[in-house]
Amino acid sequence: MPPQTAQVDVRDAFIDLGVGQPGRSLLPVPIIRQAADHRFAQGASGYLQYGAEQGDGYFREVLAAFLTGSHGFEVRPDRLFVSGGASQALDLICTLFTESGAVVCVEEPCYFLALKILADHRLRVVSLPTDQDGLILDGLEDRLAALRPAMLYLIPTFQNPTGVTLPRERRERLVEICRRHQVLLVADEVYHCLNYDAVPPTSFGAYVDGGYVLVLGSFSKILAPGLRLGWVYADPRMVDRMTRSGLLDSGGGLNPFASGLVRSVLELDLLRPHLAELRGVFRQRITALGEALRRDLPASAFTVPSGGYFLWLRLPGVDTAAALPHANALQVGFKPGTWFSSQAGLTDCLRLSFAFYDTPTLLEGSRRLGQAMARLAS
């Protein structure tokens, strides 16, 4: 049996621009090692015990202080619930706040793996239209009144796959609408801290009062996915419901050991410089990739995103799912647009990521992609 050691096996010669994970060179072994040394030297052993259901209090305090610096409002430790990552949090939210058969609204396009989590909970997904500023709010109230969904799930900042960010005015109006229709708004903000340009609008965390908004955060995109550590920011009433769940009551906090380590990362102020480095690397990559794509795929339409992991590209007249084998033949991959549709649409779109490969490899990938599309057209 060949041991599988990563979520996605990437062949060396093949450039899979569909892969949405940080590249090996961005995984901060020295930071984790330094944090571990610091934590082990403290004498205490609480991080090896069943942890507090809400998450370690010391960790939540230092995390709140860190997020306050980047989120544009005072993040409070008593509103933080420590999760095992955004996917785990979404799974728990589905268990606690929905029932089999309920309707959940998502954006079109939507993060395709969120759709799988919703499907595992037997939820009925209904997609809502978006434009260059994210979710379209005109007509939304009528849809919500007709559908009566249990939940609305969206990625408001540097969306996966489009890279689009919802402006402040839409955020405030959306919160009001969800409150009025008693729909739980789940804002997946795992890319919020990864801005390569202007600071994004205030996090949905500013609107959690009253319990209609849950915000998902994660260390997967800004530190290391393997830690399986994230958070939910919510009204104390919602935090309390998650804390009192059977899963938490039985297993204790979701990741005490990783929390202890990342507590040290934050106490030693190692995350801030790492984030600055990530921003610099990704800014440089996305600028270069944007230029290359304009040259290699002149017929394509796209906007260079100002944050996140992804670039969303439209190739008018091309069925990207059908084009994929042709691209693969030239040793390059991408994610076809239909993957991100809950209604088999978006057939002329595709998603590229610049998180995994360095700039020279991204440029070579763009070149192969251009070649594949040119061959396909001829």
Residues 219-258 that bind its own copies (CB under 8 A): 220, 224-228, 245-247, 249-258
> To the nearest whole angstrom, how small is the minimum distance from the Cβ of residue 190 to its own copies?
11
Site string for its own copies, 173-212 (x = CB under 8 A): ----------------------------------------
> To the nearest whole angstrom, how small is the minimum distance from the Cβ of residue 45 to its own copies?
4
> To the nearest whole angstrom, how small is the minimum distance from the Cβ of residue 144 to its own copies?
23
Residues of span 134-153 touching its own copies by CB under 8 A: none
Residues of span 336-375 touching its own copies by CB under 8 A: none
- For residues 286 and 307, give the distance between their C-alpha atoms in angstroms, rounded to a whole number: 9
Cβ closest to its own copies, residue 3 vs residue 317: 3
Cβ closest to its own copies, residue 137 vs residue 257: 257
Can you tell me which of 205, 260, 308, 365 binds its own copies, judged by CB under 8 A?
A: 260
Q: What's the per-residue H, E or C state across the chain? A: CCCCCCCCCCCCCCEECCCCCCCHHHCCHHHHHHHHHHHHCCCCCHHHCCCCCCCCHHHHHHHHHHHHHHHCCCCCHHHEEEECCHHHHHHHHHHHHCCCCCEEEEEECCCHHHHHHHHHCCCEEEEEEEECCEECCCCHHHHHHHHCCCEEEECCCCCCCCCCCCCHHHHHHHHHHHHHCCCEEEEECCCCCCECCCCCCCCHHHHCCCCCEEEEEECCCCCCHHHCCEEEECCHHHHHHHHCCHHHHHHCCCCHHHHHHHHHHHHCCCHHHHHHHHHHHHHHHHHHHHHHHHHHCCCCEECCCCECCEEEEECCCCCHHHHHHHHHHCCEECEEHHHHCCCCCCCCEEEEECCCCCHHHHHHHHHHHHHHHHHHHC
Residues of span 261-280 touching its own copies by CB under 8 A: none
Cβ closest to its own copies, residue 252 vs residue 345: 252
- For residues 186 and 127, give the distance between their C-alpha atoms in angstroms, rounded to a whole number: 14
> To the nearest whole angstrom, how small is the minimum distance from the Cβ of residue 205 to its own copies?
18
> To the nearest whole angstrom, how small is the minimum distance from the Cβ of residue 251 to its own copies?
4
> To the nearest whole angstrom, how small is the minimum distance from the Cβ of residue 365 to its own copies?
20
Site string for its own copies, 286-325 (x = CB under 8 A): ----------------------------------------
CA 7 to chain CA centroid, Å, is 16
Can you tell me which of 74, 99, 197, 291 binds its own copies, judged by CB under 8 A?
A: 99
Cβ closest to its own copies, residue 302 vs residue 340: 340
**Beta strands 184-188 and 213-218: pairing type?**
parallel
Residues 251, 254, 260: CA angle, nearest 5 degrees = 120
Residues of span 37-96 touching its own copies by CB under 8 A: 40, 45-54, 56-58, 60-61, 77-78, 84-88, 90-91, 94-96
Residues of span 1-30 touching its own copies by CB under 8 A: 1-8, 21-22, 24, 27-29
- Which region, judged by CB under 8 A, interacts with its own copies, from 112-120, 143-151, 207-215, 317-325? 112-120
> To the nearest whole angstrom, how small is the minimum distance from the Cβ of residue 92 to its own copies?
8
> To the nearest whole angstrom, how small is the minimum distance from the Cβ of residue 69 to its own copies?
19
What single-letter amino acid sits at 202? T
Cβ closest to its own copies, residue 225 vs residue 290: 225
> To the nearest whole angstrom, how small is the minimum distance from the Cβ of residue 345 to its own copies?
20
